């Protein structure tokens, strides 16, 4: 299966070569090769899109022995030397040849030739429908037949035991026996040979003895699923106790089956009511049970689909995620048949997992890929065991965003994580800016921003209540903002008597900035104005200092520090920094 996004072009004549070089304007990374059968054979398995600038006949003869199926074949597009026609020849839908042909034709001012029936007739293609709804197709061989039936009859009977809106032409039926398409996690709903589409809505809870192999775990899950008439393709994730998430067998099984692992600590598992408990498990792990509560927590369900089955060294339980839109895709988005890929820009708070909102935690656990700056990724390490992770250094935000967009367009749900709040000096704005520039609407992946506790919340809480009145937050990083602008804002905030929160107060390259800022503030405020300095709030090495404008530079201030400068009325009481809101009079009466 081709996974890259690469494009290659083959030419025969000089004119063809010239046209290929022209197309580089559209695909800058385009590989251009002189046509030989050997080169095509090699490119077939390595490239995602193959463009041939030559007669269609040569292409047909060359690629026909290489064709496998529409899931794995690359997109093949044929162009005439003048670039008048871009023919989508192979892998029109899933491989994206139709779309690429349109793109190239548009770029060259030519015409795209599209022949796939569903596009021509304007009916939704079943494979795209399935992909847009994250349904996996059980039997690809049935697809052409059902597709033809759809085109001939103009409608299909669809049985779905999950809630979902169907596109025009899909008629909902309540009897599986009359259905052309069956959307269900049940393995079989009768003898009729319909096309089964599988929602990924089952979470499998797993417990196992130490050292159990991936194979044994896989067999146990399959056996339990067979006995309960459930489809293995409907498994969304595995769920287990935190220490098992790191077990070789569990990890290997998850990787082989492309499943993520949701892990829970004993306290979380013990908090689930109404499940059968095991003394042995409690003694070994501190959890009274593993498989059942993990499945329930993972699926956020109240009832089990499969109660605990003990099969050899493995215990298996399963629960169903209710509502198909587990990824939260909104209806109108689904109707547009946009891919289910989504970007979540998630705030992971100041440092430890307890200060991440439950919703953000869930999104992180459910996402296919985690994208983030390595420091923040490390802080949530325990929550993302077994997941695909794309980490980069601090200044590579744009690379991270690009990667996130690319993965989401490929159908993955991606959590772009940011420390603190993702919309405060962080990733959310960048993601939107990038999408705006890409301008590929309406195919852009949906984006959801999930707030987190920002450094200003965390640090203010540690200091007492310094932000009780109007405040301004100013970043001293001049990497993206000219220093003059920063100075001007400091001056304005100090003049207007705002409490001032200073983010990014210091780094190696600009040690003197904080002193300059202090001097500007001192033009408007007394030297004994309270100043709070908090380093690594809510992290293991947290340090809290309360001082004043006069002495603030005696303390260590670095890039993990936030500084809060009080206003003219901020006072200290019992080692706390408090800004009054103006209610004092009320207390006196
Ligand atoms: N999005 C983040 C801010 C990123 S800018 C948020 O909302 O908090 C990075 C700056 O945030 C750091 O230089 C520091 O000033 C501040 N910061 C982040 N985490 C912090 C913490 N745990 N304690 C103190 N300051 C922190």
What percent of the chain has pLDDT above 90?
57
Residue 535: inside a domain = yes
* Residue 410 burial (10 A CB sphere; 0-12, 13-18, 19+): middle
Ligand 1 atom closest to Cα of 456?
A: 8
Asked if 537 and 455 count as a contact pair (C-beta separation under 8 A), the reply is yes
395, 420, 473, 545, best to mutate for ligand 1 pocket (most atoms within 8 Å of CB): 420
444 has pLDDT over 80: no
Residues 405 and 515 in one domain: no
How high is the pLDDT of residue 121? 57
Q: Which of 321, 344, 342 is nearest to 333 (CA)?
A: 342
Atom of ligand 1 at shortest distance to CA of 502? Answer: 15
Residue 325 has a pLDDT of 38
Instruction: Please check whether residues 470 and 445 belong to one and the same domain.
Output: no
- Regarding the beta carbon of 349 and ligand 1, being less than 6 Å apart is answered no
Yes or no: say if 291 and 203 are a contact pair by the CB < 8 Å rule. no
0.95 exceeded by the pTM? no
Range of the domain at 297: 202-337
Domain contains 388? yes
State which of 81-85, 116-120, 494-498 shows the largest mean pLDDT: 494-498
Is the minimum distance from the CB of 348 to ligand 1 under 6 angstroms? no
* Diameter over CA atoms, the chain: 95
Q: Is the CB of 408 under 6 A from ligand 1?
A: no
Best probe residue, ligand 1, of 467, 559, 560, 563 (max atoms within 8 Å of C-beta): 560
Contact 548, 531 (CB under 8 A): yes
Residues 445 and 474 occupy one common structural domain: no
Q: Which of 394, 419, 453 is the last residue of a domain?
A: 453
Of 302, 337, 372, the position where a domain reaches its end is 337
Structural domain contains residue 120 = no
Cβ–ligand 1 distance for 328 under 6 Å, the answer no
Query: What average pLDDT score do residues 356-365 get?
Result: 88
- Whether the predicted pLDDT of 326 surpasses 90: no
Q: At 177, which CATH number?
A: 3.40.1390
State the Cα–Cα distance between residues 96 and 114, nearest whole angstrom: 12
301 and 362 together in one domain: no
**Residue length of the chain:** 589
Same domain, 396 and 290: no
Contacts 24+ apart (CB under 8 A), 546-553: 546/463, 546/572, 546/575, 546/576, 546/577, 549/518, 549/521, 549/522, 549/525, 552/518, 553/514, 553/515, 553/518
Spatial CB neighbours of 554, under 8 Å, sequence gap ≥ 6: 547
Among 215-224, 282-291, 330-339, 497-506, which stretch is predicted with the lowest mean pLDDT? 330-339
Is 57 inside a domain boundary? yes
Q: What's the pLDDT at 363?
A: 86
Q: How confident is the model at residue 439 (pLDDT cuts 50, 70, 90)?
A: low
Contact 30, 8 (CB under 8 A): yes
| Same domain as 221, residue 311 | yes
Which atom of ligand 1 is closest in space to residue 559's alpha carbon?
13
Q: Answer yes or no: is the C-beta of 379 below 6 A from any ligand 1 atom.
A: no
- Name the β-bridge partners of 345: 416, 449
Mutation to probe ligand 1, out of 372, 378, 417, 419 (largest number of atoms < 8 A from CB): 419
Atom of ligand 1 nearest to the CA of 563: 15
* CB proximity list for 242: less than 8 A, separation 6 or greater: 263, 264, 265, 266, 382, 385
Q: Which residue has the higher pLDDT, 235 or 122?
A: 235
Say whether both 95 and 144 belong to one domain: no
Residue showing tokens 């085109």:
151
Q: Is 215 among the domain residues?
A: yes
- CA 285 to ligand 1 centroid distance, Å: 36
Q: Binning pLDDT at 50, 70 and 90, where does residue 407 land?
A: confident
pLDDT given at position 338: 35
Q: Does ligand 1 lie within 6 Å of residue 429's CB atom?
A: no
My answer on whether 442 and 473 are in the same domain is: no
Burial of 542 (0-12, 13-18, 19+ CB in 10 A): middle
pLDDT for 5: 66
State the distance from the centre of ligand 1 to the C-alpha of 408, rounded, in angstroms: 27
- Confidence (pLDDT) at 410: 75
CATH code, 321: 3.30.420.180
Domain boundary among 310, 337, 364: 337
Write down the pLDDT at residue 544.
Answer: 97
C-beta neighbour count of 91 within 10 angstroms: 25
Residue 1 domain flag: no
Q: How far apart are CA 78 and CA 55, in angstroms?
A: 8
Q: Considering only CA atoms, which residue is closest to atom 5 of ligand 1?
A: 425
194 & 206 share domain: no
CB-side neighbour CA atoms (13 Å) of 24: 13
587 lies in some domain = no
pLDDT by residue (tens digit) across 148-197? 888 778 789 999 998 877 877 889 999 999 999 999 999 999 888 899 99
Predicted pLDDT of residue 328: 33
Going from the Cα of 560 to the center of ligand 1, the distance in angstroms, rounded, reads 6
Q: Which of 397, 455, 457, 533 to mutate to test the pocket of ligand 1 (most atoms within 8 A of CB)?
A: 455
Share of residues in the chain with pLDDT > 70 (%): 92
Q: For residues 300 and 227, state if they share a domain.
A: yes
CATH at residue 67: 3.40.50.11220
My answer on whether 52 and 110 are in the same domain is: yes
List pLDDT tens digits, range 527-571. 999 999 999 999 989 999 999 999 999 999 999 999 999 999 999
518 and 420 within one domain: no
Work out the mean pLDDT of the chain and round it to a whole number: 87
Q: Under 8 Å CB-to-CB from 433, ≥6 apart: which residues?
A: none
Q: How many domains does the chain have?
A: 5
Within 8 A by CB and 6+ apart from 429, the residues are: 423
Instruction: Please report the pLDDT score of residue 455 as a whole number.
Output: 98
Domain assignment present for residue 85? The answer is: yes
| Ligand 1 atom closest to 453 (CA) | 7
pLDDT at 584: 62
Extract the tokens encoding 504.
């990014």
Mean pLDDT within 98-125: 77
| 68 CA from centroid of ligand 1 (Å) | 51
Kindly report the protein residue whose alpha carbon is nearest to atom 2 of ligand 1.
420
Higher pLDDT, 392 or 42: 42
Residue nearest to atom 11 of ligand 1 (CA): 503
For ligand 1, whether the C-beta of 419 sits within 6 Å is: yes
Using the mean position of ligand 1's atoms as its centre, give its distance from the Cα of residue 455 in Å: 5
**Contact 426 CB / ligand 1 (< 6 Å):** yes
């Amino acid at each position: 299966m081709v996974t890259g996004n690469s494009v290659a072009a083959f030419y025969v004549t000089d004119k063809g070569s010239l046209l290929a070089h022209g197309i580089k304007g559209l695909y800058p990374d385009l590989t251009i090769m002189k046509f030989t059968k050997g080169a095509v054979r090699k490119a077939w398995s390595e490239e995602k899109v193959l463009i041939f600038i030559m007669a269609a006949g040569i292409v047909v003869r060359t690629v026909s022995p290489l064709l496998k199926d529409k899931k794995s074949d690359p997109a093949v597009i044929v162009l005439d030397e003048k670039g008048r026609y871009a023919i989508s020849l192979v892998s029109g839908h899933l491989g994206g040849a139709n779309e690429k042909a349109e793109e190239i034709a548009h770029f060259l001012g030519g015409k795209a030739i599209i022949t796939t029936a569903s596009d021509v007739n304007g009916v939704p293609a079943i494979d795209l429908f399935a992909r847009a709804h994250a349904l996996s197709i059980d039997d690809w061989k049935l697809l052409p037949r059902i597709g033809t039936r759809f085109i001939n009859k103009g409608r299909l009977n669809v049985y779905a035991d999950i809630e979902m809106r169907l596109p025009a032409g899909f008629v909902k039926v309540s009897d599986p026996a009359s259905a052309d398409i069956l959307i269900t996690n049940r393995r079989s709903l009768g003898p009729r040979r319909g096309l089964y589409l599988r929602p990924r809505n089952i979470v499998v809870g797993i417990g196992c003895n130490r050292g159990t192999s991936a194979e044994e775990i896989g067999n146990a899950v399959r056996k339990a699923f067979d006995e309960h008439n459930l489809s293995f393709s409907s498994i969304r994730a595995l769920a287990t106790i935190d220490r098992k998430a790191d077990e070789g067998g569990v990890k290997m099984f998850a990787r082989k089956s492309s499943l993520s692992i949701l892990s829970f600590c004993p306290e979380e598992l013990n908090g689930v009511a109404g499940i059968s408990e095991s003394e042995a498990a409690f003694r070994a792990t501190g959890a009274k049970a593993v498989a059942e509560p993990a499945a329930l927590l993972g699926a956020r369900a109240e009832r089990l689909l499969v109660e605990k089955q003990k099969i050899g060294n493995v215990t298996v339980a399963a629960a169903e995620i209710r509502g198909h839109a587990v990824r939260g895709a909104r209806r109108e988005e689904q109707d547009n048949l946009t891919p289910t890929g989504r970007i979540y820009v998630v705030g992971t708070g100041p440092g430890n997992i307890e200060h991440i909102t439950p919703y953000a935690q869930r999104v992180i656990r459910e996402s296919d890929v985690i994208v983030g700056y390595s420091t923040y990724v490390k802080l949530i390490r325990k929550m993302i065991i077994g997941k695909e992770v794309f980490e980069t250094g601090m200044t590579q935000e744009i690379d991270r965003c690009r990667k996130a967009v690319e993965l989401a367009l490929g159908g993955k749900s991606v959590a772009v994580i940011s420390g603190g709040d993702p919309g405060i000096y962080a990733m959310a704005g960048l993601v939107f800016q990038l999408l705006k520039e890409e301008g590929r609407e309406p195919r852009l992946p949906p984006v959801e921003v999930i707030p987190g506790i920002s450094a200003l919340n965390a640090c203010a809480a540690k200091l007492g209540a310094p932000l009780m009145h109007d405040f301004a937050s100013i970043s001293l990083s001049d990497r993206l903002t000219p220093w003059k602008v920063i100075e001007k804002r400091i001056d304005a905030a100090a003049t207007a008597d705002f409490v001032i929160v200073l983010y990014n107060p210091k780094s190696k390259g600009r040690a003197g900035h904080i002193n300059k800022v202090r001097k500007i503030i001192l033009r408007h405020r007394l030297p004994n104005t309270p100043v709070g300095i908090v380093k690594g709030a809510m992290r293991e090495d947290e340090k809290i200092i309360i001082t004043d404008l006069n002495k603030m530079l005696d303390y260590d201030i670095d890039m993990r520090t936030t500084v809060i400068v009080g206003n003219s009325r901020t006072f200290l009481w019992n080692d706390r920094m408090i800004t009054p809101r103006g209610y004092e009079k009320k207390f006196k009466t």
